[in-house]
Chain A
């Protein structure tokens, strides 16, 4: 793959863009559901960053059963293993966040952080 723009650059821009977008949403939005969406975006951004650390331009998937492939032609498999864990954790945290928000909504009747003022926000 030798285009005008390298894939690593695209991955880097995409991951930092997603992380920044996610953090922007978390810190500016007042709706709790939107904040969870922001968390999801930031998580995805980190996952893209993790995968991109193991990416080597032009190399293929690390499958050792194919004897025709040389190790030097494979991408690094470690980040792919890490990102699986990270995706599962992100999923779990989002599910827990939504569950807690449902219970909070039952108690307060609102999703707006500026209206939930039992404690200081």
Chain B
């Protein structure tokens, strides 16, 4: 059996290795980072068949839980590991040419730390370790947002840092209160003991936790940092931040609400918040002229949709939500990565300056179209099936509240289609722009094309996707059993 702890150790160790050998290897350190993530992809994929049979519990340093620290990997953890490793390696490949200049090894060190933090948050079975991995993820993303070294980058990084730190204060308060009430930090142990906590305290702990994690997950009204951070970061980092970082934080909230806190009475409020987040994101995206701000606001909309799907209190909803995570990771990465080279070629962030760019950058523009179609949910793309499943799951719950919410989601989708089609129209209509605009290099087009293959051919493996998403949903939906773990 491959030990899942390698998913955390390999990127972390390579990050330190890169920073020590950066002096002699200079910019070749990127190949080290690539090898580390290649190992990660292989480990996470080989983990999946095992966890489908039985969740893997890894005891660290020989001290048994609940006293020691453990990793707990179920189907949800394995699927997210695959999403993180695959999206990570593709974006890393894109960065090879996209990130220029001296001192690149810093970028790759931080990138690997970001992967470490995300993997850790998904795999850990200990709530204090969750906080530590959250901080690893957060600190590396603060620096990466400001990596370009321009004014907007620093401003967005400072803003993100301040709000992110407030979020981490809330998370730590929740951890302290949980320890005070139950005397344990282990998730499986906690799932059994949390029920005995007084209900007022339960509610308080949960509010602290959701507020803290919600800052990173960009839930309305805690998301004011996101449009700045995701639009000012280098495009490769925007793709990662939108692609899986906010989803990782969201899935941690979902995991806690269902399987640890086990308080289903607040789910309806969360799904209302999800729909509000969706509408706020889509309406705000409508009026933006900066292409990356459009994409960033659209990410807020999508995270709202995923939150709504996952808080329906049904396995079908959770499964549809997992599928939407895959769709959003692939399609939003395409959009951000293509936008990165369009900005680089034209020197402008305003999409109105991209008139007729499809004649100069035909492959990139075509991939952008595929990403847009899947994000809106046009058949036969993966986005169509995930949105359809979400709507079916919502209507299956069958009360007036959810029917109204479905109408609001469809309204959001219409707005989304309008502003995306406006952008596509500018790409394809009009005389080609002047200047040295040319197609993005192969190292950029190739990873984007792989993302496109996922959303385009996803429907061929739809039954398999349903099985995996379904077992992840079942894992989230059932409370973690202490007997099952130890």
Chain A residues near B (Cβ < 8 Å): 19, 22-23, 26, 32, 35, 39, 42-43, 45-46, 49-50, 53, 78-79, 82, 85-86, 89, 92-93, 96-97, 100-101, 103-104, 107-108, 116, 118-121
Contacts and interface: CB of A to CB of B under 8 A. Distances in A.
B139 A93 contact: yes
A78 to B, nearest CB: 7
B471 to A, nearest CB: 33
A115 B284 CA distance: 23
Given A46-B169, A78-B185, A97-B165, A32 B156 contact: no
Interface in B129-169: 131-132, 135, 139, 142-143, 146, 149-152, 154-159, 161-162, 165-166, 168-169
Interface of B: 128, 131-132, 135, 139, 142-143, 146, 149-152, 154-159, 161-162, 165-166, 168-169, 172-173, 175-177, 179-180, 185, 224, 227-228, 232
Given A89-B135, A96-B142, A26 B179 contact: no
A53 B178 CA distance: 10
A26 B166 contact: yes
A86 B172 contact: yes
* Nearest 4 A/B pairs, CB to CB: A53-B180, A107-B151, A104-B154, A119-B228
Contacts of A107: 150-151, 154
A107 B150 CA distance: 8
B159 A121 contact: yes
Contacts of B172: 46, 50, 86
B161 A97 contact: yes
Contacts of A49: 173, 176
A79 B228 CA distance: 36
Contacts of B149: 103
Nearest to A108: B151
A104 B158 contact: yes
A16 to B, nearest CB: 9
A102 to B, nearest CB: 9
Given A53-B179, A107-B150, A119-B152, 10 more contacts: A43-B165, A50-B176, A89-B135, A93-B135, A96-B142, A96-B143, A97-B162, A100-B154, A101-B158, A118-B155
A96 B174 CA distance: 24
Contacts of A42: 165-166, 169
A31 to B, nearest CB: 12
Contacts of B176: 46, 49-50, 53, 79
A84 B227 CA distance: 34
B33 to A, nearest CB: 22
B166 A104 contact: no
Contacts of A89: 132, 135, 168
B128 A100 contact: no
A103 B180 contact: no
A82 B71 CA distance: 18
Nearest to B163: A26
Given A93-B139, A96-B143, A103-B146, A43 B154 contact: no
A89 B130 CA distance: 13
B139 to A, nearest CB: 6
B60 to A, nearest CB: 15
B467 to A, nearest CB: 39
A93 B159 contact: no
B154 A103 contact: yes
A37 B146 CA distance: 21
B145 to A, nearest CB: 9
20 contacts: A19-B173, A39-B165, A42-B166, A43-B169, A46-B172, A46-B173, A50-B172, A53-B176, A53-B179, A53-B180, A78-B185, A79-B176, A85-B132, A89-B135, A93-B161, A97-B162, A103-B146, A107-B154, A108-B151, A120-B228
Given A26-B162, A39-B162, A50-B176, A100 B157 contact: yes
A23 B166 contact: yes
Nearest to B142: A96
B296 to A, nearest CB: 11
Nearest to B160: A100
A75 to B, nearest CB: 13
A96 B180 CA distance: 31
Contacts of A46: 169, 172-173, 176
Contacts of A108: 151, 155
A32 B158 contact: yes
A4 to B, nearest CB: 23
A33 to B, nearest CB: 11
Nearest to B150: A107
Given A97-B161, A100-B146, A78 B179 contact: yes
Given A42-B169, A43-B169, A79 B179 contact: yes
Contacts of B142: 96, 100
B20 to A, nearest CB: 19
Contacts of A82: 128, 175, 179
- Which of B156, B172, B179 has most chain A Cβ within 10 Å? B172
